[in-house]
């Protein structure tokens, strides 16, 4: 064969008898029987070992010559996966025989049968990885034979032996031939494994054995024969190129192995792998990837188990950090790792004993940003109260001192809030002081329309804005303060402490008296209307920013929950 790196096999069919057969070989059991001869287990007394003795049953026709060729071809294939031939001779009855290594184990055919019908029992012994490894060694043995110029021509699961110690042996070289050797028995083959050109009686090449290897690989992947068991149907299907991908029979078959198998089974020899070694390398490359994937999965399991250990212990902040790191490493190695996904679900559901410093810092920055924004808005809003001065002058000022107090308090509140708006870390004391000054300013509007008209609305909106801004402990102070600024002027009015009351009640209704401006009809209505509308606008604007922030937080939470669900079916974040 062109390009062969080994010396070619040379076959000489002449031979002569050797003496002392009966004294040397002691037959113990029949191992197999075929159309041309028998194989028995014998004790070789001269060496003291058991050997397999193959004896020709009938010397009619080409049988004797074919038998001798088998022995000499097999004997010259010195490969670990080819049984070595020890002796070629004739027995006392004149029947040719040869002895070879006694191969122990089960055939690949039997292994696949066991795996198909008893997967729980034999699943580990005959795992796909182990069978593919054995298949690779068969490919190398066949490639060695090809390089010596020999075609096996009868590769099938029944002719592959799997030993108990990892040995893989290709047996039955009975119809093996040299490349280019054309003889009358060329069409001898096993339908279902033989290549199309072998069935058709055309010239054979190493690609013919590659086809048989592809049929064996198909059977390993699916636990089913490639072609029908009936010989005629198998031959017809082979010649027609009718074949399924392994995944058509077994949907979970690996796509890469699918492609390897289909290429080996191509109808045209030129479309198959160029050699059995190339087929081996394709399978080995897949196994290398599988081994790497298995190692990654094993490492992912280790990280995931470490995470679960942390979660099941006292879940301190440091333990939570460690668990998250282990989960991240596990999912990086194996995105679908069930234990890691379960750990992530458990971790998200576990209550926090305290916030991580990074989270506290982030929340603080967000609160400071919100406080600065609200302070700037409040400061600008307080300064807009000076726009009411023209209305006061239009109505007619009766008590300028009261208005001066009002605007002094307004200026103080505006100055503090604007200063808070520029501070890097706003202080809660400054915010509370601004709240007190602004509510005090609004409380002084009692001199305009009394404690029950306009003033309670102004204090309510102002208090609500600060309550939205401050943390829970200070929120109570804010609410209590707002109530006080509404309640105290009302009590003063009720008990007449301030002198002339602002309200008079009678059959005609309630009369309002102002102590600061003249309540002529037009200015009073405009002032009340503008004040009411401004209160609505200010309240809505102050709360809208908080509602936007809440909406964004809800959106982020919903997206986080969706991402967690998409990580895998085991992730169910708490609602």
CATH code of the domain covering residue 176: 1.10.510.10
529 and 426 within one domain: yes
Residue 447 backbone dihedrals phi, psi, to 5 degrees: -70, -15
Q: Hey, what are 175's tokens?
A: 């119809």
- Please give the Cα distance from 479 to 483 (Å, whole number): 6
**What are the DSSP calls for 262-323, one per residue?**
HHHT-SSGGGS-SSHHHHHHHHHHHHHHHHHHHHHHHHHHHHHHHHHHHHHS---HHHHHHH
- Please give the Cα distance from 159 to 219 (Å, whole number): 14
Residues in the chain with pLDDT < 50? Answer: 1-4, 19, 184, 186, 573-575
45 and 66 within one domain: yes
54 and 69 within one domain: yes
444 and 521 within one domain: yes
Residue-level pLDDT at 4: 47
| CATH number, position 76 | 3.30.200.20
534 and 415 within one domain: yes
Residue 431 makes CB contacts below 8 A (sequence gap 6+) with: 371, 375, 420, 466, 469, 470, 474
Q: What number of CA atoms fall less than 13 Å from residue 79's CA on the CB side?
A: 23
Residue 235 makes CB contacts below 8 A (sequence gap 6+) with: 191, 199
139 and 48 within one domain: no
- Please give the Cα distance from 416 to 422 (Å, whole number): 10
Residue 87 backbone dihedrals phi, psi, to 5 degrees: -155, 140
Quickly tell me which residue has 């010397």 as its tokens: 59
How many structural domains is the chain composed of?
4
**What are the DSSP calls for 115-160, one per residue?**
HHH-HHHHTTTT-HHHHHHHHHHHHHHHHHHHHTTEE-----GGGE
Q: How many CB atoms lie within 10 A of CB 285?
A: 12
Q: Hey, what are 434's tokens?
A: 């601004």
Residue 102 backbone dihedrals phi, psi, to 5 degrees: -80, 110
Residue-level pLDDT at 3: 46
CB 72 within 8 A of CB 12: yes
By three-state DSSP, how is residue 317 classified?
helix
299 and 253 within one domain: no
- Please give the Cα distance from 168 to 161 (Å, whole number): 6
Residue-level pLDDT at 245: 92
Report yes or no on 335 lying in a domain. yes
**Last residue in a domain, options 274, 308, 323:** 274
- Please give the Cα distance from 194 to 462 (Å, whole number): 92
| Long-range contacts of residues 348-353, Cβ cutoff 8 Å, at least 24 apart | 348/564, 348/573, 348/574, 349/573, 349/574, 350/311, 350/315, 350/320, 352/320, 353/315, 353/316, 353/317
Q: Hey, what are 216's tokens?
A: 């064996």
Domain of residue 200 covers 106-274
Report yes or no on 565 lying in a domain. no
Report yes or no on 187 lying in a domain. yes
361 and 344 within one domain: no
Q: Helix, strand, coil % (nearest 5) of the chain?
A: 60, 10, 30
Residue-level pLDDT at 10: 67
Residue 20 makes CB contacts below 8 A (sequence gap 6+) with: none
Report yes or no on 572 lying in a domain. no
pLDDT tens for 331-371 read 888 888 888 888 888 887 777 767 777 777 777 788 888 88
Query: Please, which residues bridge with residue 101 across strands?
Result: 51
CA 45 from chain center: how many Å? Answer: 62
Quickly tell me which residue has 């942390």 as its tokens: 310
490 and 397 within one domain: yes
**Last residue in a domain, options 242, 274, 306:** 274
Report yes or no on 477 lying in a domain. yes
CB 159 within 8 A of CB 170: yes
**Last residue in a domain, options 323, 349, 375:** 349
Report yes or no on 120 lying in a domain. yes
CB 542 within 8 A of CB 465: yes
3-state secondary structure 451-516: CCCCHHHHHHHHHHHHHHHCCHHHHHHHHHHHHHHHHHHHHHHHCCCCCCCCEEEECCEEEECCCC
402 and 450 within one domain: yes
Residue 255 Rama label (left phi>0; alpha psi -120 to 50; beta): alpha
444 and 375 within one domain: yes
Residues acting as catalytic residues: 154
- Please give the Cα distance from 468 to 521 (Å, whole number): 37
By three-state DSSP, how is residue 171 classified?
coil
CA 124-130-134 angle, to 5 degrees, is: 145
- Please give the Cα distance from 506 to 527 (Å, whole number): 25
486 and 445 within one domain: yes
Residue-level pLDDT at 162: 97
CB 441 within 8 A of CB 414: no
Quickly tell me which residue has 């007394």 as its tokens: 45
Query: Please, which residues bridge with residue 89 across strands?
Result: 97
Report yes or no on 215 lying in a domain. yes
- Please give the Cα distance from 421 to 373 (Å, whole number): 6
Report yes or no on 14 lying in a domain. no
């Amino acid at each position: 064969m062109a390009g062969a790196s080994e010396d070619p096999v040379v076959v000489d069919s002449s031979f002569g008898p050797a003496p002392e057969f009966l004294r040397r070989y002691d037959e113990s059991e029949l191992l197999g029987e075929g159309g041309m001869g028998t194989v028995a287990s014998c004790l070789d007394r001269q060496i003291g070992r058991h050997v397999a003795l193959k004896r020709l049953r009938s010397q009619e026709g080409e049988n004797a010559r074919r038998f001798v060729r088998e022995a000499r071809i097999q004997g010259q294939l010195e490969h670990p996966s080819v049984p070595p031939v020890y002796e070629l001779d004739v027995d006392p009855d004149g029947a040719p025989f040869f002895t070879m290594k006694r191969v122990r184990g089960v055939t690949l055919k039997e292994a696949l049968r066991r795996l198909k019908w008893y997967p729980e029992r034999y699943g580990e012994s005959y795992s796909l990885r182990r069978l593919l490894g054995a298949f690779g060694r068969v490919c190398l043995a066949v490639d060695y034979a090809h390089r010596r110029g020999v075609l096996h021509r009868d590769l099938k699961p029944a002719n592959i032996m799997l030993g108990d110690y990892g040995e893989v042996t290709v047996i039955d070289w009975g119809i093996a031939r040299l490349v280019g050797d054309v003889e009358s028995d060329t069409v001898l083959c096993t339908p279902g494994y033989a290549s199309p050109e072998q069935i058709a009686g055309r010239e054979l090449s190493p690609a013919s054995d590659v086809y048989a290897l592809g049929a064996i690989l198909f059977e390993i992947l699916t636990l089913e024969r490639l072609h029908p068991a009936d010989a005629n149907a198998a031959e017809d299907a082979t010649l027609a190129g009718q074949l399924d991908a392994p995944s058509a029979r077994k949907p979970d078959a690996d796509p890469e192995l699918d492609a390897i198998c289909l290429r080996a089974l191509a109808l045209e020899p030129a479309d198959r792998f160029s050699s059995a070694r190339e087929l081996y390398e394709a399978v080995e490359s897949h196994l290398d990837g599988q081994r790497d994937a298995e190692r990654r999965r094993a490492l992912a399991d280790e990280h995931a188990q470490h995470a679960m250990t942390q979660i099941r212990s006292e879940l301190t902040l440091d333990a939570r950090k460690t668990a998250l790191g282990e989960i991240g490493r596990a999912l990086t190695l194996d995105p679908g790792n069930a234990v890691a996904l379960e750990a992530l679900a458990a971790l998200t559901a576990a209550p926090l004993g305290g916030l991580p410093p990074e989270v506290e810092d982030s929340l603080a920055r967000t609160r400071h940003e919100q406080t600065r924004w609200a302070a700037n808005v409040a400061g600008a809003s307080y300064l807009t109260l000076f726009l009411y001065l023209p209305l006061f002058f239009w109505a007619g000022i009766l008590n300028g001192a009261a208005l001066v107090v009002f605007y002094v308090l307004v200026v103080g509140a505006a100055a503090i809030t604007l200063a808070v708006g520029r501070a890097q870390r706003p202080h809660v004391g400054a915010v509370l002081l601004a709240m007190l000054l602004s509510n005090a300013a609004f409380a002084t509007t009692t001199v305009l329309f009394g404690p029950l008209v306009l003033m309670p609305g102004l204090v309510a909106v102002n208090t609500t804005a600060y309550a939205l801004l401050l943390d829970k402990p200070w929120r109570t102070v804010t609410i209590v303060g707002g109530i006080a600024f509404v309640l105290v002027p009302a009590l003063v009015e009720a008990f007449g402490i301030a002198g002339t009351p602002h309200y008079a009640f009678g059959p005609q209704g309630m009369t309002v008296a102002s102590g600061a401006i003249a309540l002529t009809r037009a200015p009073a209505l405009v002032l009340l209307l503008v004040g009411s509308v401004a209160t609505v606008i200010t309240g809505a604007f102050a709360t809208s920013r908080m509602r936007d922030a809440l909406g964004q937080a809800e959106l982020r939470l919903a997206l986080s929950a969706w991402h967690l669900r998409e990580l895998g079916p085991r992730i169910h974040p708490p609602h």
